[in-house]
Structure 1
Amino acid sequence: MNTSALIIMLTTLLLVTGLMIYFFALVLRTPPKPEPDSYLENDDDPGRQPML
């Protein structure tokens, strides 16, 4: 393997590894979205709400 091929391979390897670590950390640092307790709270149609 010549020198230029080794440089390109190592540069690509470091770039892909760096991007993977960046996006993996981004996913882990993102706070979870608040989810409703039930599907009924997610329904905007008042006719479909349960009678309490």
Structure 2
Amino acid sequence: MNSAALITMVLAQGIVICLTLYFFYKVLKTPPVQEPDSFSDNDEESVRKND
């Protein structure tokens, strides 16, 4: 393998590894989105039947 091919391979693998680590870190550090509970928070009291 000549030196140009080796440099290209190492750069390509380095870029892929850096992008993978960046997005993995981003996924781990992003806080979860708080979603409302559809059964208790979104229902109106006047619509709900209490039989």
> TM bucket by the smaller chain?
0.7 to 0.9
> Which gives a bigger RCO, structure 1 or 2 (Cα 8 Å, sep 6+)?
1
Residue-by-residue CA offset, 1:18-51 (whole Å, 9 max, x unaligned): 00000000011000011223x23346xx5xx423
* Structure 1: unaligned runs, 5 residues or longer: none
Asked if 1:35 corresponds to 2:35, the answer is yes
What is the number of residues matched between the two proteins?
Answer: 47
Q: What is the Cα-based RMSD across aligned positions, in Å?
A: 1.9
C-alpha distance 8-42 of structure 1, shift in aligned 2 (>3 A): farther
C-alpha distance 42-19 of structure 1, shift in aligned 2 (>3 A): farther
Q: Runs of at least 4 residues of structure 1 off by over 4 A?
A: none
Asked if 1:12 corresponds to 2:12, the answer is yes
Q: What is the TM-score of this pair, normalised by structure 2?
A: 0.74
Q: What is the TM-score of this pair, normalised by structure 1?
A: 0.73
- Percent identity over the alignment is 45
* Structure 2: unaligned runs, 5 residues or longer: none
From the two aligned structures, give the one with the greater helix fraction. 1
